[in-house]
Homo-oligomer: A and B are copies of this chain.
Amino acid sequence: MAWDLDSDRPIYAQLVERLQVQIVSGYYPPGGKLPSVRELASVAAVNPNTMQKAFAELERGGLIITQRTNGRSVTEDTELIQNIKLGLAKGHIETFFSRMQELGYTEREVVSLLKGGCGTGMEA
């Protein structure tokens, strides 16, 4: 699984988002143990300091828990996980419609566009 990091944004922020997705999508199950800072940093081809920063950020959000000298685990608070997942989904929907609206598309146009596209001006 590639990490496809973008140079146009802080790496640690991208790591946070990626790990967030991996947790709420169940790739890292609730209560499950996470790879170590050094190991994940190695996999992502990133400096351990950067991965550490991402982990610290995730912990502030409550998604992961640190056992001082024994690694980290995903929280067992499945409700929190679900809430974050729904929050992310809503955010994506909102920004998507917002961006399409900026371009001049109405909500109705966008929806019909996704269903199969009828007279939206995008066929050409």
Instruction: Identify which of B93, B96, B115, B121 contacts A119 (C-beta below 8 A).
Output: B93
With A9-B9, A96-B92, A115-B115 known as contacts, the answer to whether A24 contacts B103 (CB < 8 A) is: yes
Q: Size of chain A's interface in residues, with CB distance under 8 A?
A: 39
Whether a CB of chain B sits under 8 angstroms from the CB of A47 is no
Copy number in this complex? 2
Whether B97 pairs with A25 at a CB distance below 8 angstroms is no
Q: How far is the CA of A6 from the CA of B13 in the complex (A)?
A: 13
In residues 1-60 of chain A, which contact B (Cβ within 8 Å)? Answer: 8-10, 13, 21, 24-26
In the complex, which residues 59-112 of chain A have their Cβ closer than 8 Å to any Cβ of chain B? Answer: 82, 85-86, 88-90, 92-94, 96-105, 107, 110-111
Is the CB–CB distance between A120 and B92 below 8 Å?
A: no
